[in-house]
Amino acid sequence: MGRNLQYQFLNSIDKAFDGGGHDKHTDKHNGKHLDTVYSYAERKGLIELSSQIARFIKESYPDTKKVLDIKEEMIQNFLNSKSETCNKETLGQYGSRIHKLEHIVNDVYKGSASWYNDLIIPTSKVSNDKTRNISMSREDYNSILNRAYNMNSSSKALIAIELAGHFGMRVSETCKFQPRDVSLEAMKLHIHESKGKKNRDIDIRKRDVNFLERIIEGLPQDARIVDIKEDSVNKYLARAEEALGIRDKYQEADTGIHCIRKMVAQERYDEFRKQGLSKKDSLNAVSIYLGHGMDRDETMKQYVLNIH
């Protein structure tokens, strides 16, 4: 296997190329359809994609010389990069072709490359729905808080923004939050969900304790901590962004606190991955944390924009 990656891919594709001898429907029934390249059109598509992958690996992972040494995370990062320019349909086709490339490479080179099983097809960044692709940076978020602290702001909207930044709450959830929803003994937070969904409990981390103690101090257990309208929270956020010169990043999306919610989603996903969870399990964990429930991969790809 001394040749370069592009040659190794081409060799695999050509060895798997049939050109009409096999019946694809029969092979599908027997579970053998991923081992054969059935047409010149399919061969061309596989060659084009494998050439792109080979170039990406060469540029990003120059020490990787053999196709069997290509890791799943490299393929994931390749797909993530293609999401900047490819639409949803093309990304889906790439996923299917990667599945076949994995099989024929393993068949030809007698290996155990695993690229597809935990692969997540990312959301296309060329979507017309810009709100799906806007997440606040933690740097911008901290700038908003620092400005408010320096101004000695006493706005309840600031507390809502902090709740969103700590726990990924929806703006409606911040405006329903009460002191009795905080259990520091059990280290649990009760969140009253919106949109007719079930309420949820999430873990309180040690780094959240001082903040929670500060916002509930001296308040009745059944008081609304953020006793203002939801719209007032988002207007406060927009004014802060304008004052800091960062409004242009977020105003087209017009998502308000939702940008912060997506920031938290990405951070939580990163944490779950570091803990050793698979990509799919990490997306599920984030989905439950945010109140979306299980098996909502397509929804969560609108929140977690860097899948790795």
Q: Are strands 182-183 and 188-191 parallel, antiparallel or unpaired?
A: antiparallel
CA distance 148 to 34: 58
For 177-213, the pLDDT digits (tens) are 999 999 999 999 999 876 556 789 999 999 999 999 9
Burial track 252-270 (b if 16+ CB lie within 10 A, e otherwise): ebebbbbbbbbbbbbbbbe
Classify residue 163 as left (phi > 0), alpha (psi -120 to 50) or beta: alpha
pTM for the whole structure: 0.76
Structure tokens at 106: 């393993």
CA distance 265 to 292: 12
For 120-162, the pLDDT digits (tens) are 998 887 755 544 568 899 999 999 999 999 999 999 999 999 9
Task: With beta carbons less than 8 A apart as the criterion, state whether 222 and 178 touch.
Answer: yes
CA distance 86 to 233: 36
Q: What domains, with CATH codes, occur in the chain?
A: 5-126 (no CATH), 133-300 (1.10.443.10)
Residue with tokens 């695999």: 12
Tell me the CB-side half-sphere exposure of residue 241, using CA atoms within 13 A: 24
Q: What percent of the chain has pLDDT over 90?
A: 71
Task: With beta carbons less than 8 A apart as the criterion, state whether 144 and 241 touch.
Answer: yes
Residue 67's closest CA among 23, 32, 112? 112
For 255-278, the pLDDT digits (tens) are 688 899 999 999 999 999 999 999
